[in-house]
Amino acid sequence: MKKISPQKKLYVTFLISFLLTFPFYTKAQENDKELLKTLIEQLCNDKGFAQQLEITEPEQLQKFYSQIDYQMAWSKQNTRFAEEFMAILTNANDYGMLKEDFHYNYLKSNHKNPIEKEVVCTHAMLSFLSEITSGKGKIDLDYNGLNYNNKCLNLEQLLASTYQKGYFSDILKYVQPQSMAYDANIRLLRKINVFLRDSSFNELPIEILPTLKENKNLIQKLYYLGFIANPTDTESLHENNLIYALKGFQSLFNLTQDGKLGLQTLKKLNTSLKEIQSILIKNLHRWRNLNCLDNQRYILINIPSAELSFYNKDSLVTAMKVIVGKASTATPLISSKIDQIIFFPYWYVPNSIATKEILPIQQKEATFLENNGFQVLDELGNTIDPTTLPWATYTATNFPYRFRQVAGCDNSLGIVKFNFESPFAIYLHDTNHKELFSKSNRQISHGCVRLEKPYDLAAILLGSRSQVEDALKHRFDTDLKPKYIRLDNPIQVFITYMTTSVDEFGNLVIFEDVYRKMGKK
């Protein structure tokens, strides 16, 4: 009789044992499935019960579990995915998020009810993914003409299709904004979090001293922010190296990069790491708010950096400086579509500018309107001879006319204007004051957005450089009339507000909060 090997005996024993217990195992699975389904239904139907477990949007749970037939996703047979999630959640502040917002304390404690823990773990994952994908809070828009919605990803389906064979980090990479500015925010946040996690960490105020080398508090700050690799390294502390490091800091805060410890630089140096952390976190959420723009064709105008970027499916087509509204005449945040280009536009002067600025000048200088190409219009749009009007009798409250500036090179809107729908009298346009683009802080307009390279933008939108050049040939003609061109393919435009961005080298820049919006939650 042939002997059975010990290995084969072991296999047979295991097989018999499995076959004997399989019915009970299957029954246990079915029991768990019913309990899980019942619990989720109760959460969906009983808001009070859901609040007890701190479960928001229980419908997300229903969507997820319906796709996996209400199987236990994080049971003993599949703990790898949940363990990786917990490791990421432990360091949630590296993403500008709070682990306590995602059931962290509950999940770290021991619980006797595996069904409840299963549901809470899934809710934590979906909530974490929702915040890191779409941001925290409402989208900051004064006018949402596109009905833009930042909930564009099916997170339940993503999780259901990944949890068995993939990794939580795979989903994390996929759902976050694909932006250099976003990545730069994350990198600096992680760097300063290393120090802020230390309960004994303490920053000392920085003062102006004769040399940078003797300024120990300055050297520490440059080290915290990554501009010096080692604060005790002799080579790093050479005066020329410190000047270079200080220029890097000045670049971070959009200051003149002269390597000198002046008053403006000193003020920014005394911005605490905690304050910088708060700035980065608020901007991360604002970048996440725009996450659903990925892989689309759109123009993004950012007010604090006063820059325009044109994207086509995540590729940067063109970028340029812009001039936006000052704080007192702020440019509104909007989403809309540019659907028309006007060459040689008239400028219909807003009433506030007409009565507060132009009227007082005309009352002092009788030829001001004529010298600057302004016409006076009545309520029907008829032109009125300004020499026939009793200017001295008019005030801001009783002035019955409108001003219109004629088309041409001297027009305040320049040669070309880009129209989009909004309840505000704003648009994108050329300007006859190109010298203003050399300013580093370009929040100086009455609210409209002036473009550094309007002809380039027009050529891209029209798909024809020659069409733009043909129009420009007539810019010195007399008695110019506006030329209206309707776009066959309107372009989405978003005017947004992020106080962090990147320069042409991909380095993070923190801009002034000119409209004081970042103090808001």
Active-site residue set:
429, 448
Burial class (CB in 10 A: 0-12, 13-18, 19+), 159: buried
**DSSP-assigned letters across all residues of 375-428:** EEE-TTS-EE-GGGS-GGG--TTT---EEEEPSSTTSTT-SEEEEE--SSS--E
> To 5 degrees, how large is the angle CA 475–CA 320–CA 304?
125
* DSSP 8-state symbol, 332: P
Residue matched to tokens 């820049």: 509
What is the helix (H) or strand (E) element at residue 124, kind and residue range?
helix 114-134
* Long-range interactions of 92-101: CB distance < 8 A, separation 24+: 92/128, 93/193, 94/186, 94/189, 94/190, 94/193, 95/132, 95/186, 95/189, 95/284, 96/185, 96/186, 96/189, 96/280, 96/281, 96/284, 96/285, 97/128, 97/131, 97/132, 101/127, 101/131
How far apart CA 516 and CA 518 sit, in angstroms, is 6
Relative orientation angle of helices 454-462 and 465-472, to the nearest 10 degrees: 130
Q: Which stretches within 176-272 are classed as H helix?
A: 180-196, 216-224, 239-252, 263-269
Backbone angles phi, psi at 135, to 5 degrees: 90, 175
Max Cα-Cα span within the chain: 128
Residue 410, beta-bridge partner list: none
Both tokens of 85, joined, read: 């999630």
Residues contacting 322, CB < 8 A, separation 6+? 301, 306, 307, 308, 428, 442, 449, 450, 451, 452
Residue type, 207: E
Q: Which amino acid is at 303?
A: I
Nearest 10 degrees: CA dihedral of 494, 496, 502, 505? Answer: 30
Would you say 249 and 222 are in contact if contact means Cβ atoms under 8 Å apart? yes
